[in-house]
Amino acid sequence: MTKAHRIVGRGRIDASRPVHFTFNGVEYQGYRGDTLASALMANGVHLVGRSFKYHRPRGILGAGSEEPNALVGVTHGQGRFEPNTRATMLEIYPGLATRSQNHWPSLKWDVGAINDALYMLFSAGFYYKTFMWPKAFWTKVYEPFIRRAAGLGTAPFEPDPDSYASRFAHCDILVVGGGPAGIAAALAAGRAGAKVILVDEHADLGGSLLSETDATIAGLTGQQWLDEALAALADLPNVTLLSRTTAIGYYHENFVGLCERITDHLEHSSVGTPRERLWKVRAGQVVLAQGSIERPLVFDGNDRPGVMLAGAARTYLNRYGVTVGERAVVVTSHDSAWLAAFDMAKAGVKVEAIVDLRSDPSVDLQERARVLGIQILVGWTVTGTRGRLRIKSVRVCPVDLGGDAHILSCDVLLMCGGWTPSLHLFSHSMGKLRWDESEQRFLPGDHVEASRTVGAGNGSFGLAAALAEGDQAGAAAARELGYDSAPATYQVNGEFALSGRYFNELPTDRNPGKAKAFVDFQNDVTAKDIRLAVREGFRSIEHVKRYTTNGMATDQGKTSNMNGLAIAADAVGRPMPEVGLTTFRPPYTPTTFGAFAGYARNGLFEVTRKTPIDQWAESEGAIFEPVSLWRRAWYFPKAGETMHAAVARECAAVRSSIGMFDASTLGKIEVVGPDAAEFMNRLYTNPWTKLAPGRCKYGLLLGEDGFIRDDGVIGRLAQDRFHVTTTTGGAARVLNMMEDYLQTEWPDLKVWLTSTTEQWAVIALNGPNSRKLLEPLVEGIDLSDEQLPHMAVAEGSICGIPTRLFRVSFTGERGYEVNVPARYGRAVWETLYESGQEYGIVAYGTETMHVLRAEKGYIIIGQDTDGTLTPNDAGLGWTIGKTKPDFVGKRSLARPDMLKDDRKQLVGLLTSDPTVILEEGAQIVFDPDQPIPMRMVGHVTSSYWSESLGRSIALAVIEAGSRRIGEVVHIPMPDRTHAAVISQTVFFDPQNSRINA
Amino acid sequence: MLLIRCPYCNAERPEVEFVYAGEAHIVRPVDPSQTDDDQWRDHLYVRNNARGLHFERWRHIHGCARFFNALRDTVSDKFVTTYKAGLPRPRIEDIKESM
Amino acid sequence: MTQARYPLSGDKIILTGEHPVTIDGLDDCARFSLRIAPSQSAAASAALGLDLPVEIGGIASSTGRLALCLGPDEWFVLAAKADGAAIVSAFAEIYGQAPHSLVDVSHRETGIVIDGPLSALVLQSGIAFDLAAMPVGTGCRTLLDKAQIILMRETANRFRIEVWHSFSEHIWNFLAAVRREPEFNI
C-alpha cells in the first residue's frame, strides 16, 4: 500500500508543501491542499471505516459534503476531538491525527461485523420487532446492547476549549455555491455595484471548474478562467468571498445561516481565535447555485471499499492529482461517468470496461472509448462485487439477463446513477418542488423568497448553461434592487452534452432477496429494507423513511433520498411525484454546537443581572440564587456555618434587633399624569382615589381572567405621581400589561409609565432597632410613628443622598425601605451596615426573607400562587375596592367557576411532627388509606423551619381549605406519609403588634 | 427571523425587537359587568386560531414600545400589512388588490 | 462623603493596529425619560430649550442638552449632571398647561462609547438590523445580544450605548468577546 497514486504536477495541491498526518496511528504524507480523503487515496488507502449497523468495511464514496461513508474522528488537541468528520471535507495539516469509527478491536478485524451475518435481525424496523420479547430482557439485555451499538462515533467528554464567533450581516445578493454558476452570478451582481456575498463550503471556490478538463471558456481552460474570475471578484470591494463556509439553513425573508470554518484547517492559530463563525445573513436577493449530487447505483455489494462515485474519482484525479486505483471498472447510466473513464485512462489508469446500463449511449462516447482501448459493455448490469477489505472483482451480465455473466478484475469500481439537483436550501425556504418527468428528477418550483436557483441545482447541467444562468440570475437580482447590469457572454467550447437515465435496483440474474444493495450507506439501509417496509404496510414516504431510517443519518440522505424514493414508489406502485420527497431540514450539513452557541457560552450564555450591592454581598461570602435574570444573595454564611444555621441566625437578628436586605431587584414603575389615580383604579383591585400623597397601599393586580398576577406596595408621592413596586420577576410583565391597557384600551387617559427599577437601589431595614439606626442618618424626614407610620412614604435624604423612604414591612417587624439612586446604593448600604454594628445588624438574603414573610403569611407570587388563585382563594379579598365599578379581572370574579365553594384556597399547615419540613410541591390527600391513585386535593406551596416558632411551618392550597381549619390532612411521600393540621396562614404575631415595636 | 414593519417607526425591523400579543380587534367591553357569562367567556377565551390570514397584535417592545395591529398569514408566517392600534380592521380584499 | 460607584468605572478596551477600536465607559450625566402628547411637544421644546424631534429616531441637541425621540410620545433626554435640577424645575413649570411625565433615570442607565473604523462591525455581531443603514445623528432602542439598549450613532465610526446598569456588565463582556474578530483580523 505504499505505492504512490499521485500524479505530481496535476491538480491544485501544493506539491512543494508536503504534509505529514496520521490515520489510525499510521503516518502518511500528503500535500497542502489535500483533504484527508484525497491524501489517503494517494497512499492507496480506501478502507476508512465500518458501517453503522452491520459494521461492513467501507471506503470513500464521494468527494464532497455528501459523503456518507468516510466519517472519521479528528483530534485537534486536548478537548478537541470531533467525531463524524467527513474525510472528504477535512483539510490536512501537519500533525493532524485522525481515526476510523464503528469498530472494535480494529478497523480490519471488527467483532461487530457479526451483525453482517445476522442480517435478518437488523432489517427494516428491527428496533420495533427484535427487542420485543421477553419483556424482562428489555432493561437488562436489549437496551444496554442498543445503547452500546447505536450512535455514530464517540462524543468527546471534555468541555470544548474553543471559542466561536457569530455576527449578523446584510447584503444585496447572497450567492450560495462557488461553482461556475455562482461565480457568474457574483460577477454579474458585483460588477453592477451590488453588495454581494459569495459562499462555498469547500476550501477553494470553483466547484466543478476545479476538476474541469475538457471545456474552455473564452479560450481559457476551466482552471485558468477560474483564477481570473476569482481575481476579478477579489478586486471588487463590494464583494465578499467566503470559502470554507456552508450555508446551513435558509429561513424567512432571505435570512440565511452560514457556518464559516476559521481554524480547523490550520496547524497553528493564535490563542483565542474563534474556531468557527456563524453568519446570520439578511439578503435582498438570494441566488442558489448549489449544483447537483451524483447518485450511486443500487446493486449487491455496492458498498465495498473501492466502489465510489465516478465524478468523485474524476475530482480526485483532476483537482488533487490522485488516481483512486490502478484498474478501474466503470458502471453507469449517465454519460458523465464516461468522461471520468476517459480522464482516468489518459492518466494511465487501466480502465477495464465501461458497463452502461443503457442500450443506446452516445455513439460519440463509444467511439472515444474505443480510441482509448476501453472495453464497452452496453446494456449490461452489475450483479455483485467481491473482495473483503477492498473490491477485487465485479460480476457483470446483460441487462436482459440473456447471456453469461463475466467477472472483471478491478481495484476500483466507479459508478454513476445520474445527478440529483441539490434542493436543500430551496426547500428550507418553503419552496415547493416540481417534478421533471422527462429527466425523472425534482427541480425547484416557484420560489417563495426573493431568490433564484441556477445551474445544475436548477437542472441545467453543463458549464455553458451554468455560466449563462448564473450571469442572468446575478444581473436580474441586481436589477431588482435598482442596480444597472449589463449581460456577459461566456464562450464555452469543447463541452460534451450529457444525458442519462435513472434505475432503481439494478437488474440481476441472482436472488434479489439475498442482495445487499445499499441505498443509504450511512444508516445501512438496503433496497430490500425499503421494499419490506412497503410490504409491511407503510405507504407514506415519511413513514418509510422513519421505519427504515433511510435518509436519517448525518448526511440527511444526500446520496440516498432519490434512490430510496424511486424504490419505494416502485414498491407502492405509484409515480414518484405522487409519493413525494421527504422534507429537507436545516442544517444542510452537521454543524457544531459551538457554532450555534457563538458567543453565548459561560458568562455570556445568559444575562446575569446584578444589583449595585451585589459586589458587597460577594465580598461578604454570600451564597447566591438566581431569581429571573438576577442573581440575589440567598444567605450569608459565616465560616463553617450551614445554610440552616445561617438562616436561623439571620431570622433571629431581624426579630430581635435589625437586619438589612438588598431589595433593589423589586420592579419599580413610576406612574405619572393627571389620570394616574384613575389608571391605578382601573388596573389594580384596590381603591386609589382616597390614598393621600405620602401614603402607601398593598396593591393586588389580576389578569382579566380574575387570577392573581402580581402584587407590591404602591406609594403615592404626589397627587399625580405613584411609585409602584412589583415582584422581581414580574417587573417587565407588569409594565407590558400596563402599557397594553393604556395604549390599546384607554388611550384617552393622561398618564405615562416609566420603568425605574434600576434607577433606585433599595435597602430594606427590618427589626425593632431599624428606626434607631436610621434616625441619625436621615435628614428632612420625621421618622416618628405619627409622621411616618406603617405604610407611609417620604422624600428626604440619607447620608446626604436623596432618598424615597418607605415605611413598609415584609417581615412583620418595624420596617423601612430606603430607596437611593443606584450609584449610591453601595455606599449607603455600607454606611448603614457600619452604623448598624452597635445593634448587631446582619445582612440577610432571600431565604431569610422567605421564612420571615411566611411566618406572617405573606404570599410570594408564583410560589404560593400559580395563575389559578383568585384574591379570595389567597385570602386577599380585602384588597378589592367594593365600590369600584370595574377593574381588570373584576368581571371574571363573578363567573360561576370562581364562586364555587370547593376552590383551592391558601391555608397554613402545621405538621404533626414539628421537626418535619414538608417538601414544597408535595401533594396533599384527605384520606391516606385510600387506594392508589389517590385523590389529590392540594399541594404545599411554601415550607420552612421557623426559628421564631421553634417548629416547621408551611403554606398550602387545599380544596375548600378555609372551611377546614383544624382538620388533619396527609402528605404521602416516598418514605412515609406525613400528617398535618390545617391552620390560619399567619403563624407569627397575628395581632401585628411588632410593626411599631 | 422575520422582518416586521413598525407602523410607528415606519421602518422594517428584525423580529427580535417585537413580541406577539394575541389576536387583534378584541375590544374590552366598556362595562364588563353588563356582559353575561357566555359573552364574557368568549371575550376572555374564544379566539379565531385562523389557518391563513389572521389579524393580530404585536408590540415593538425593544423599539418604540408601541402596540400595533397586523395582518399575517399563519401558514407562511409572513406579514401582509401592519397598522397602528385603534385603526379599523382593513378589508382583506383591499389589501389583496393593492398587493 | 458618600461616593457614587459606576458599574464600569476604570474599564477601557483599546485595540490598536490596522483597525483600531476603543470601547469605553462614559462619565455620569443627567438622564430623563420624557413622555408627553405630541400635540403638547411645543411646550416641552420650550422647557428644554431645543426643538424636540418628532420623527422616531431623530436627535436634537442644544447647549449641552440632547433629546432622542424613542416613540411617538417618548423622548430620552441627556444633559450635564449639574443641569438636571434646572430641567426638572423647567418642566414643573409647564405641567399645569402641558401635563407630561418627566422621570429621572440618570442612575438607571450606563453609557458606553464604541469608537473606531470597525465599531459598526463589532456591534453588528449582536445587533440584528443593518447598521450600515443607520444614519449618523439618529438613535433607537434595540437589542444588543440579549440586552435592550439605546443606540445613538454620533459619527460614522462612533456609537453611544445606553444600557440599564444591571445589563451593562453583560454588554461590556459581549463587546470584549467580539473584539477578538478585529483583533485577529478575521
Q: What are A961-983's pLDDT values in tens digits?
A: 999 999 999 999 999 999 999 99
- Chain B residue closest in CA terms to C139: B63
Residues C115 and C71 occupy one common structural domain? no
Closest listed residue to residue A771, CA positions, set A783, A753, A758:
A783
Quote the strand ranges of A437-567, DSSP E: 441-444, 451-453, 492-493, 518-520, 525-526
Mean pLDDT of chain A: 94
- Residue in this structure with the C-alpha cell 379565531, named with its chain if needed: B48
Q: Cα–chain-centroid distance for residue A191?
A: 37
Q: What is the DSSP string of B9-56?
A: TTEEEEGGG-EEEEES--PPPSSGGGS-HHHHHHHHH-----SSEEEE
Q: Please check whether residue B45 lies inside any domain of the structure.
A: yes
Structural domain contains residue C53: yes
Write down the pLDDT at residue A114: 73
From chain B, the residues in CB contact with A253 under 8 A are 1-3, 78
Residue C6 belongs to a domain: no
pLDDT digits (tens, 9 = 90+) for A566-577: 999 999 999 999
User: Does A750 contact C2 at a Cβ distance shorter than 8 Å?
Assistant: no
Q: How confident is the model at residue A1 (pLDDT cuts 50, 70, 90)?
A: very low
- Is B72 part of any domain? yes
Question: And the C-alpha cell for A434?
Answer: 416540481
Confidence of residue A128 (pLDDT cuts 50, 70, 90): low
Please check the confidence at residue A589 and state whether its pLDDT lies above 70: yes
Inside any domain, residue B33: no
Q: Which three cell numbers stand for residue A316?
A: 480526485
Query: DSSP of A126-174, one letter per residue?
Result: HHHHHT-SSTTHIIIIIHHHHHHH-SSS----SPP---EEEEEEEEEEE
The band of C165, judged by pLDDT with boundaries at 50, 70 and 90, is very high
Residue C106 CA to residue A823 CA, distance in Å, equals: 9
| CB count in 10 Å sphere of residue A898 | 16
More confident call, A2 vs A767:
A767
User: What does the pLDDT read at residue A138?
Assistant: 66
Neighbours of chain C (3+ CB pairs under 8 A): A, B
**What are A517-564's pLDDT values in tens digits?**
999 999 999 999 999 999 999 988 999 999 999 998 888 899 999 999
The residues of chain A that CATH labels 3.10.20.440 are 14-116
Chain B contact present for C131, CB below 8 A: no
Q: Do C142 and B62 touch (CB under 8 A)?
A: yes
Mean pLDDT of A493-498: 90
Cβ-defined contact of A277 to C169 (cutoff 8 Å):
no
Helix (H) or strand (E) holding A424: helix A424-428
pLDDT band at A370 (very low <50, low <70, confident <90, very high): very high
> Is B64 close to C128, i.e. CB distance below 8 A?
no
Q: Which residues lie closer than 8 Å to A455 by C-beta, 6 or more apart?
A: A177, A179, A180, A181, A182, A289, A291, A465, A466, A469, A470
What pLDDT, on the 0 to 100 scale, is given for residue A426?
Answer: 96
Contact list, A758 vs chain C (CB under 8 Å): 107-109, 164-166
pLDDT band at A2 (very low <50, low <70, confident <90, very high): very low
Given a contact cutoff of 8 angstroms between Cβ atoms, the answer to whether A955 and A873 are in contact is no
Tell me if A891 and B32 make a contact (CB, 8 A cut-off): yes
pLDDT band of residue A271 (cuts 50, 70, 90) is: confident
Claim to verify: residue C112 and residue C166 sit in the same structural domain: yes
- CB nearest to B14's CB, from C70, C72, C129: C129
In which region does residue A96 sit, left (phi positive, over 0), alpha (psi from -120 to 50) or beta (all else)?
beta
Nearest residue of A to residue C173, measured between CA atoms: A604
pLDDT at A439: 87
Interface test with B, best of C56, C74, C143, C151 (most B CBs within 10 A): C56
Alpha carbons C5 and A610: distance in angstroms, whole number: 14
Average pLDDT over residues A771-778: 98
Q: Are A917 and A909 in contact (CB under 8 A)?
A: no
Residue in A430, A744, A895 closest to B67 by CB: A744
Q: Residue holding cell 378589592?
A: A880
- Which three cell numbers mark C78? 441627556
Task: Give the integer Cα–Cα distance in Å for A489 and A353.
Answer: 39
A139–chain C nearest CA distance, Å: 44
pLDDT per residue over A141-150, tens digit each? 666 666 666 6
Whether residue A260 contacts residue A200, with contact meaning beta carbons closer than 8 Å, is answered with: no
Q: Spell out where C93-157 has E strands.
A: 101-104, 109-115, 139-144, 147-155
> Which residues of chain A does C130 touch, with a Cβ-Cβ cutoff of 8 Å?
170, 282
Does the beta-carbon distance from A736 to B31 stay under 8 Å? Answer: no
User: Which CATH number goes with the domain that contains B76?
Assistant: 3.30.2270.10
Q: State pLDDT tens for residues C89-145.
A: 999 999 999 999 999 999 999 999 999 999 999 999 999 999 999 999 999 999 999
Region A230-253: mean pLDDT is 97
Domain boundary, last residue among C104, C120, C138: C104
Whether pLDDT at C21 is above 50: yes
In this prediction, residue A107 carries a pLDDT of 80
Please check the confidence at residue A196 and state whether its pLDDT lies above 70: yes
Query: Cβ contacts (< 8 Å) between B66 and chain C: which residues?
Result: 71-72
C35 and C22 co-located in one domain: no
CA-nearest residue to A256 within chain B is: B1
> Could you read off the pLDDT of A153-169 as tens digits, one per residue?
777 888 899 999 999 99
- At B91, is the secondary structure helix, strand, or coil? coil
By percentage, how much of chain C surpasses pLDDT 70?
A: 97
Residue C35 contacts B where some CB pair is shorter than 8 Å: no
Query: What pLDDT does C55 receive?
Result: 96
**For residue B53, is it within any domain?**
yes
Location of each CATH 3.50.50.60 domain in chain A? 164-292+421-493, 296-417
Number of domains in chain B: 1
Q: For residue A119, what pLDDT is reported?
A: 64
Numbered ranges of CATH 2.40.30.110 in chain A: 900-996
- Residue range A900-996 forms a domain whose CATH class is mainly beta
CATH-assigned architecture of domain A14-116: Roll (3.10)
pLDDT value at A858 more than 80:
yes
- Per-residue DSSP letter, A125: T
CATH number of the domain that C94 lies in? 3.30.70.1520
Determine, for residues A167 and C103 on separate chains, whether the beta-carbon distance falls below 8 Å: no
Q: How many contacts (CB atoms, under 8 Å) link B and C? A: 38
Domain membership of residue C34 as a residue range: 30-104
For A630, half-sphere exposure in the C-beta direction (CA atoms, 13 angstrom radius) is 27
Q: Is B25 on the interface with A (CB under 8 A)?
A: no
Q: Mark out chain A residues that contact chain B at CB-CB < 8 A.
A: 251-253, 255, 280, 282, 430, 448, 704-705, 736, 739-740, 743-745, 747, 885-886, 890-892, 894-896
State how many domains chain C has. Answer: 2
pLDDT in tens, A249-266: 999 999 999 999 999 999
- Side chain identity at A244, as an amino acid letter? R
Task: Report the DSSP pairing between strands A276-288 and A164-176.
Answer: parallel
Domain that includes residue B21, residue range: 3-28+38-98
Residue where a domain terminates, one of C83, C104, C125: C104
Confidence check: pLDDT of A272 > 90: no
Cell of A251: 429561513
> Mean pLDDT, to the nearest integer, of A390-395?
97
Q: What is the pLDDT along chain B (99 residues), one digit of tens a residue?
A: 999 999 999 999 999 999 999 999 999 999 999 999 999 999 999 999 999 999 999 999 999 999 999 999 999 999 999 999 999 999 888 877 666
pLDDT at A134 over 70: no
* Mutation site, C35, C76, C130, C141, interface B, largest B CB count within 10 A: C141
What is the tens place of the pLDDT at every residue in A709-760?
999 999 999 999 999 999 999 999 999 999 999 999 999 999 999 999 999 9
- C180 pLDDT exceeds 90? no
Closest chain A residue to B1, measured at CA: A252
